[in-house]
Chains A and B, each alone.
Chain A
């Protein structure tokens, strides 16, 4: 199972980096499932919401995807980031956590879905400058395309892309700093 995930995710991420946006969405969905399973198994005491860890990990994967070498396996890279973000989440809540890295090898893709509750990311989103916040919300929560978002706010597509990129980078940075 893990071997199949590895080959599939590696193929998708390579295609994504080459410019295939559908492959990127697919990669992120599959990665979210893997990280969700990982976070749920690691967080047994509560205090940290696994879905927050999933979101932080996806953001970190996104802004750090230039650190993946396409000749290196992708799963160790994904789980190293997930583990770092999980420890970070515990640290922010003043807990100590010890995670065995060996257990990562036992990760299986489970068809788990996310739970719905108040998210850390919403708080960070609220703290963004208004222009970035409205663009990020339009593209994510409202599910608009770049073009639709540009039309909604009466700005160019380039301006939408810039605001989106800066907004996401700022969210990722703020998670790291908190």
Chain B
């Protein structure tokens, strides 16, 4: 088949249009959030003292970390799934969530006597944390990997890893409403481990499934 002939076929198919990538990402993320919410609600649900907890800085700070992670990952994954789009600025913003956690950790170290550092870090929920963040995030991750196939990422493994970070940020936002360990020491350790699990799965998924 000559290239001329191929162009004839492509032109004849011009009327067939797909949803613009940006709108598709918004929709997919909304669907992913609903799935995460349903899984969260039917498994662990919010903690019983959530109304009281909402008045504490430590509890609220968890949502700042997780929502900033999800928001920055969302911006980056959109750029990564668009060929030729510059990713530098969005990639730099990915440092925001870890930096916020770092600041909170330093503040916590000043606020809490050294003898309590260990118990705060270990907390009482670490296995649940490491199990449920990936569990809540696995459905959203599948949707995001499918979205990468819908897009055109020229770096599929990296894009898959960022899909894992986005799924992790989303899942951790829900999980944070359940978890009674509010210390930044706990969050910095176990949330990170849980989100890294999703990130690794995302990178693997990008390697295996994101072809176009």
- Taking a contact as CB atoms under 8 Å apart, the answer to whether B13 and A121 are in contact is no
Top 3 closest A-B pairs, CB basis? A76-B84, A80-B83, A80-B84
Does A25 lie within 8 Å of B15, measured CB to CB?
no
State how many angstroms separate the Cβ of B187 from the closest Cβ of chain A. 35
Q: Are A119 and B1 in contact (CB under 8 A)?
A: yes
CA distance A67 to B128 in the complex (A): 39
- Cα separation A139 to B4 with both chains bound (whole Å): 11
> Is A28 within 8 A of B7, CB to CB?
yes
What B residues does A119 contact at CB under 8 A? 1
**Complex Cα spacing A139 to B1, Å:** 11
Please, what's the 1-or-0 string for A64-77, where 1 marks a CB less than 8 Å from any CB in chain B? 11111100110111
Question: Are A21 and B10 in contact (CB-based, < 8 A)?
Answer: no
Taken together as a complex, chains A and B put the C-alpha atoms of A173 and B152 apart, in Å, by: 12
Listed stretches B18-26, B100-108, B119-127, B198-206; interface member: B18-26
Whether B6 contacts A121 by the Cβ 8 Å rule is yes
User: Complex formed: what's the CA distance from A168 to B21 in Å?
Assistant: 20
Is B2 a contact of A136 with CB atoms below 8 Å? no
CA distance A123 to B10 in the complex (A): 18
For window 129-179 of B, CB contacts with A under 8 Å fall at 151-152, 154
Contact digits for B179-212, partner A, Cβ 8 Å, 1 yes 0 no: 0000000000000000000000000000000011
Q: Add 12 more A-B contacts to A28-B11, A69-B21, A122-B1 (CB < 8 A).
A: A21-B15, A24-B11, A58-B7, A67-B83, A69-B82, A76-B83, A81-B84, A119-B1, A161-B13, A161-B16, A164-B13, A165-B13
Given A19-B15, A66-B21, A58–B6 Cβ distance below 8 Å? yes
Q: List residues of chain B with CB under 8 Å of any chain A CB.
A: 1-22, 24, 81-85, 151-152, 154, 211-212
A81 touches B152 (CB 8 A): yes
Question: How many A residues have CB within 8 A of the partner chain?
Answer: 55
Task: Decide yes or no whether A128 CB sits under 8 A from chain B.
Answer: no
B3 and A164 contacting across the interface, CB-CB below 8 Å: no
Cβ-defined contact, A67 with B81, below 8 A: yes
CB distance from A121 to the nearest CB of B (A): 5
Query: Is there an interface contact between A32 and B3, defined as CB atoms closer than 8 Å?
Result: yes
B7 lies within 8 A of A29 (CB): yes
**Smallest distance from the beta carbon of B88 to chain A beta carbons, Å?**
13
Cβ–Cβ contact A24 & B5, under 8 A: no
Are the C-beta atoms of A54 and B3 separated by less than 8 Å? yes
Q: Across the interface, name the chain B residue whose C-beta is closest to A73.
A: B84
Q: Which residues of B contact A170 (CB under 8 A)?
A: none
Asked if B6 and A59 sit within 8 Å, CB to CB, the answer is yes
A residues adjacent to B (C-beta < 8 A): 16-17, 19, 21, 24-25, 28-29, 32, 51, 54-55, 58-60, 62-69, 72-73, 75-81, 83-84, 114, 116, 119, 121-122, 125, 136, 139-141, 143, 145-146, 161, 164-165, 168, 172-173, 176-177
Q: Looking at the complex, which one of B3, B19, B84 makes contact with A79 (CB distance below 8 Å)?
A: B84
Contact A165:B6 (CB < 8 A) given known A28-B11, A67-B151: no
Q: Residue of B at shortest CB range from A135?
A: B9
Q: Is the pair B14, A140 in contact by a Cβ cutoff of 8 Å?
A: no
Hey, which chain A residues are within 8 Å of B18, CB to CB? 65-66
CA distance A111 to B21 in the complex (A): 33
Find chain B residues with CB under 8 A from A16 CB: 14
User: A84 and B12: CB pair below 8 A?
Assistant: no
Closest A residue by C-beta to B10: A62
A residues near B4, Cβ cutoff 8 Å: 114
What are 17 residue pairs bridging A and B, where the CB atoms are less than 8 Å apart in the complex?
A28-B7, A29-B7, A58-B6, A62-B13, A65-B18, A66-B18, A80-B83, A81-B84, A84-B152, A125-B1, A139-B8, A139-B12, A140-B5, A146-B12, A161-B15, A161-B16, A173-B212
